Structure 1
Amino acid sequence: MTDHTALVVGGTSGIGLATARLLARRATVHVVGRTERPIDPELIPHWADGGDPGQIGAVVDKIGQIDWLVVSLSGAEGAGPIAELDVAMLRRAFDAKFWAHLTTVRAALPHLAPTGSITLIGAVSARAAMPGTAGLAAINGAVEALVKPLANELAPIRVNGVSPGLVDTPWWNGFPPEQREAYFAQMASRLPTRRVATAEDVAEVVALAATNPNLTGTVLEADGGARIAALT
Structure 2
Amino acid sequence: MNTPNALVVGGTSGIGLAAARQLRARGANVHIVGRGKERLDAVAESDPDLIGHRADGGDRAAVAAVAAAIGTVDWLVISLSGSEGMGPIADLDLDALRGAFDAKFWGHLTTIQAVLPRLASSGSITLLSAITARTAMPGTAGLAAINGAIEAMVKPLAAELAPIRVNGVSPGVVDTPWWNGLPDDARREYFARTAQALPTRRIATADDVADIVVTVATNPNMTGTVIEADGGARLVSLG
The interval holding the TM-score normalised by the smaller chain is over 0.9
Match of 1:64 among 62, 71, 96: 71
TM normalised by structure 1 equals 0.98
Counterpart of 1:3 in structure 2 is: 3
CA-based RMSD of the aligned residues comes to 0.9
Counterpart of 1:54 in structure 2 is: 61
Counterpart of 2:33 in structure 1 is: 32
Alignment deviations for residues 19-76 of structure 1 (CA, whole Å, 9 cap, x no partner): 0000002200000000013211110000000001121111111111000000000111
Counterpart of 1:110 in structure 2 is: 117
Distance 2:71 2:110 in 1: 17
Distance 2:32 2:171 in 1: 20
1:84 aligned counterpart, secondary structure: coil
Counterpart of 2:19 in structure 1 is: 19
Distance 1:146 1:169 in 2: 25
Distance 1:208 1:171 in 2: 23
Distance 1:67 1:80 in 2: 38
Give matches, 1:209-228, under 5 Å.
Answer: 209-228=216-235
Counterpart of 2:153 in structure 1 is: 146
Distance 2:82 2:91 in 1: 19
For 1:215, the aligned partner's letter is M
Distance 1:59 1:76 in 2: 25
Distance 1:57 1:3 in 2: 21
2:81 counterpart of 1:74? yes
For 1:66, the aligned partner's letter is V
2:199 counterpart of 1:192? yes
For 2:130, the aligned partner's letter is A
Gaps of 5+ in 2: none
For 2:106, the aligned partner's letter is W
Counterpart of 1:83 in structure 2 is: 90
Distance 2:186 2:138 in 1: 20
Distance 1:43 1:175 in 2: 29
Distance 2:33 2:162 in 1: 25
- Whether the aligned pair in 2 keeps the contact of 1:122 and 1:143 (CA below 8 Å) is yes
For 1:64, the aligned partner's letter is G
Distance 1:30 1:74 in 2: 18
CA shift for structure 1 position 218: 0.1
Distance 2:95 2:60 in 1: 22
1:174 aligned counterpart, secondary structure: coil
- Whether the aligned pair in 2 keeps the contact of 1:72 and 1:120 (CA below 8 Å) is yes
Give matches, 1:174-185, under 5 Å.
Answer: 174-185=181-192
1:58 aligned counterpart, secondary structure: helix
**Count of aligned pairs between the two proteins:** 232
CA shift for structure 1 position 174: 2.0
2:171 counterpart of 1:157? no
2:141 counterpart of 1:134? yes
TM normalised by structure 2 equals 0.95
Distance 2:49 2:135 in 1: 37
CA shift for structure 1 position 2: 5.8
For 2:94, the aligned partner's letter is V
Distance 1:31 1:93 in 2: 21
Distance 2:73 2:109 in 1: 17
